[in-house]
Amino acid sequence: MSETKILASYVVNGTLAEIPGEVLREARRSLVNFMGCAVGGARDEAVDAAISAFRPFAGAPTANVLGRDERLDPLHASLMNGISSHVYDYDDTTPKNYCHPTSPIASALFAYASVNPVRGRDFMEAFIYGFEASSRIANCVYPTHYDLGWHITGTAGVFGAAAAIGKLMRLTEPQMIWALGLAGTQAAGVREMFGSMGKAFHPGRAAQNGYGAALLAQAGFTSGPRILEGPRGFSAVTTAGKFNLANVTKGLGTEFDLLVNTYKPYPCGIVIHPTIDGAIQLREQHGFAPADITAVRLRVAPLVLDLCNQQGISKGLQGKFSVYHGAAIGLVRGRAGVGEYTDAAVNDPDVKRVREGATATADSAVTEDQAGVEVELRDGRRLSVFVEQSLGNINKPLSDRQLDAKFRDQAVVNLPADDVERLIGLCWKIEELTDVGELVQAAVPQSARAASAGA
């Protein structure tokens, strides 16, 4: 039995008709969330730098980059979409394997749809099968893979991009096996990049390289046939042998990881979210001013300090990996939007003072959805709260309307409000579109919408 072959066959032969309605609904929500993040992040300096570096080497400018004026070839557009959609750490998460699953897949798909006519139904089909393939591979290698230090969003994501693009390209099963193999042998990205632009580079390269793997396979470029189960394949090599191959095929066609996808209310590491919730709750309940706060004590799951223990910070990006910053903005500002993760916000004197007065204790009795927040005030009072379920987790998901609000908050930075509303509407009805290119056109500034290929 070859898990690679079984998964390739599933992706090649699967149809949208086999997908339950609730999975379709979650796929739509995933794409809405993705598009808001991509348009919202598109003007970040990381995207500027990547375009500046690669534009002189890009191919014919046929593909739109979501949220940008520039047009690039679709491989480079995939890269930029991946950076944009992940750069604020605001995209989706499947907590069971810590992937941010949609970015690598949808980044490639929207680039592909920008240069090829793609029906909405076909786009959705490719997205769902790509998502499930990617997530199953992540389940196979998680948790050892992640614990060793792999950024699983990139490493599992490149398979998803290859599967999704390969499906739109109508690869045969042998070609799909090659596409998965060539994707897996490009799987890369280490957590040492967290807190730098390198983190968002991972889903971008995953999108670009997965797309490239499908192109190579179509052209007859061969790979080893056992990327998943082979003794020198992705699973064994990236886990030092500690993986669970059964997770690739378990419940295939009946269980869908899209159903456990979640969307962040705050643009930072998801394990910080319960701390932020608690901080906001305390501020709302007690109405103290920043100057009243003399100390903050956090009680968090051990993983929080493993991932998000950054102290002595001065950059917005670092704030995304600082549970202390999360507590500080919740307590000082009562919110944690994109505006709380700028360099200016991190250096805001009130935020800085509260952050630097915060301490955290790892407690294995606290789950990753939970956090204890205690504030000590100038008048000696100690206020505390224990958050049992953070907003946005699988049991307390963002509603469709909350997703719309999140989308608007991000996208209005880059597009006029009317355009944002139209784009939101197109995302929700993506399956009905005759050509997803219409949606891509709606996701770029007016000036980039010329039908002809011109940079």
**Residues near a second copy (CB under 8 A):** 45-46, 49-50, 52-54, 56-60, 73-75, 148-151, 181-182, 184-198, 201-202, 205, 212, 215-216, 218-224, 226-227, 230-234, 236-237, 240
Least distance to a second copy from the beta carbon of 54, Å?
7
Least distance to a second copy from the beta carbon of 374, Å?
29
Which lies closer to a second copy via its Cβ, residue 142 or residue 150? 150
Least distance to a second copy from the beta carbon of 48, Å?
8
Distance CA 447, CA 142 (A): 44
Least distance to a second copy from the beta carbon of 292, Å?
37
- Would you say 43 and 67 are in contact if contact means Cβ atoms under 8 Å apart? yes
Which lies closer to a second copy via its Cβ, residue 147 or residue 438? 147
Distance CA 62, CA 53 (A): 18
Distance CA 56, CA 239 (A): 38
Least distance to a second copy from the beta carbon of 125, Å?
23
Least distance to a second copy from the beta carbon of 218, Å?
7
Which lies closer to a second copy via its Cβ, residue 146 or residue 263? 146
Q: Taking Cα atoms as reference points, which of 74, 370, 79, 50 lies closest to residue 208?
A: 79
Which lies closer to a second copy via its Cβ, residue 90 or residue 146? 146
Distance CA 91, CA 66 (A): 15
Q: Taking Cα atoms as reference points, which of 435, 443, 395, 341 lies closest to residue 31?
A: 443
- Tell me the pairing of strands 371-377 and 358-362: unpaired
Least distance to a second copy from the beta carbon of 288, Å?
36
Q: Where are the alpha helices (DSSP H) in 308-390?
A: 316-319, 323-333, 343-347, 349-356
Structure token digits, residue 312: 């002595």
Least distance to a second copy from the beta carbon of 22, Å?
36
- Tell me the pairing of strands 293-300 and 358-362: parallel
- Would you say 99 and 258 are in contact if contact means Cβ atoms under 8 Å apart? no
Which lies closer to a second copy via its Cβ, residue 53 or residue 365? 53
Which lies closer to a second copy via its Cβ, residue 212 or residue 274? 212
Q: Where are the alpha helices (DSSP H) in 100-232?
A: 102-115, 120-141, 144-148, 152-168, 173-184, 198-218
Task: Give residues with Cβ within 8 angstroms of 34, minimum separation 6.
Answer: 85, 91, 92, 102, 103, 106
Which lies closer to a second copy via its Cβ, residue 193 or residue 394? 193
Which lies closer to a second copy via its Cβ, residue 171 or residue 328? 171
Distance CA 6, CA 241 (A): 21
